[in-house]
Structure formats: C-alpha cells, structure tokens
Amino acid sequence: MLMSVDGKISTGATDDRDVDKDFPAITGLKEGLHHYYEIEQTTDLWSFNTGRVQAKVGVNEKTMPNRTPVSFVILDNTHLTEHGVRYLCALSKQFVLITTNASHPAFSAHDDNLEIIYQDTLSLKDALKCLKNRYGCDRLTVQSGGTVNSLFLREKLFDYVDIVVAPVLIGGKDTSTLIDGQAVTTEKDLEKLGILELIECCPLKNSYIRLRYRVI
C-alpha cells in the first residue's frame, strides 16, 4: 500500500480525493511516485480490491482495456455497474466478484472469465478458502481501503504488510487511513492488534521509504 507519513491512504475525506490522481500533480511527491508503481508491478498475480475503489478510479466509465496476466478479486455490493464488471473482466485473467447482493449487475454479465462468490453474510475467511480451493489462488495481494483492511487485520488474515511511505503529512481525522474500521476501546480489542516483525526498511529516492513486515 501507498500511504503518507501519518498513515493516510487518501488525500481527503471524499471520493473526489485520491492519491493516484493528486500525488502526480504535487511537487515533492510526483518525483518519487514511480517507486510505488514499480513495486506494485511485482506483487502477486492475484489482486484483491473493492468496488468502491474501482469506481473511484473510473472503471464504470472507462473504455475497455487490454487483458493483463493478473486475476482480480473484487468485493462489492453496490459500486460497480455492469460496464464496470465487464471492464474488470476485460482487464483480468480471471475476475472473481465477492458479494452479498443477490441483484448485483455481475449476475447479468456472463463473461467467460467471470466467477461470483455469493455469500448471505460476508466472511472474508470463507471467501479466501474458496479462492484457494476452487480457483487455485495461493497468494493474494490486498490493495483495498482502510475499512476492508481492518476486516483482514481483525480476522488475522494478513501474513505480510508491505508499505511505501510518501514524504507528506495529510491530516484530517475523517481521511481514510491504512486501517480504519472499529476502533480499539476495550482490553479485549487489544487481542486483535496486528503485531509486526520488520523484515526490510529500504530508503528510496526522493525521500520515499519502503517498509516490509511479517504479521506475528
């Protein structure tokens, strides 16, 4: 994930603000942004994200892309249109949608590489088991928003955390962070914290830093 020094993964508290859109226009950030995109190209060939993030970057309006070797897993109930689903099918080697919405537009798409994991109640643990057993997904890179990241963390589904830290402080208590979701309020909540073992700390050019951790 790409985040600011204060842990923000967006440049503001609305969907109009986005680091992919804003960082390339900011002197002091745009010069080193290529480090993140270069690292992103080396991640797993299964990539997890959310419909909200994909809608934010415009998949519901974009023209159809060329296919990539990456298989995309998207968690979505309401943000993707049928065009957005078809866009992701065109982009993906295999596209797997996880949803609890029985009326999701994906059910009307019928693309050859589209698979749907429908759940009455969301269970990321069950979805990951299905991805492995049904589709052979052994490794998955999660690049979603702070709320879904918190679900992975609280259910202890992360094995590693790989972060590129951009040299900026964004601030704003309502701006999304790497881990959002329910805050720690009780002693029992402390059991759900993600304790990390540092694997690598790598200074990059232009004051960017890469941090890699094992979750223990």
The domain limits of the chain are: 1-43+156-216, 44-142
pLDDT tens, position by position, 123-176: 999 999 999 999 999 999 999 999 999 999 989 999 999 999 999 999 999 999
Range list of β-strands (E), 15-76: 46-50, 71-75
Q: For residue 120, how many C-alpha atoms fall within 13 Å in the half-sphere facing its CB? A: 0
**pLDDT for res 106:** 98
Cα gap 74→149, rounded to integer Å:
13
By the 8 A CB rule, do 193 and 187 touch?
no
**pLDDT for res 72:** 97
Give the position of tokens 């589904």. Answer: 157
Cα gap 200→5, rounded to integer Å:
17
Cα gap 148→146, rounded to integer Å:
6
pTM of the shown model: 0.91
